[in-house]
Amino acid sequence: MNFTVTFALLENEKGDNYTLVLNHVCNLFQENSLPNVIYTDRDYAFIKAVEAVFLESKHHLCRRHNKVNVRKRALELSSNKEFSEIYMRKWNYAISALDVVWMYRWSNIEEEYK
């Protein structure tokens, strides 16, 4: 189950601010119930702060952010709308699977669109 834990207004988007907020968030959890996975966008400072505070948690990029970036990349590969739609269908199919299957499906997409 995925859910949002908190929102924070920051003076700026720098590592120290992220670390401060994430330490407060971490304190909301009992030690044995820390999240297994944390989703973020591609903000490098935020990713580093997550890795520093939630040592045992895995980091993943948010699917929504990934989808936006994949769609943008598909449009860069071809201005053909049909191509973009087919590419996105294949992407959605690939990410709907478990990790091992996902890697296989992703390798097929990479091979097809080299």
Residue 96: pLDDT over 80: no
Handedness of CA 18, 19, 22, 23 (dihedral sign): negative
Residue 99: pLDDT over 70: no
pLDDT of 56-86, one tens digit each? 888 887 777 788 888 888 888 888 888 888 8
DSSP string for residues in the chain = ----------SS--HHHHHHHHHHHHHHS-GGG--SEEEE-S-HHHHHHHHHH-TTSEEEE-HHHHHHHHHHHHHHH-S-HHHHHHHHHHHHHHHTS-HHHHHHHHHHHHHHT-
User: pTM of the entire structure?
Assistant: 0.60
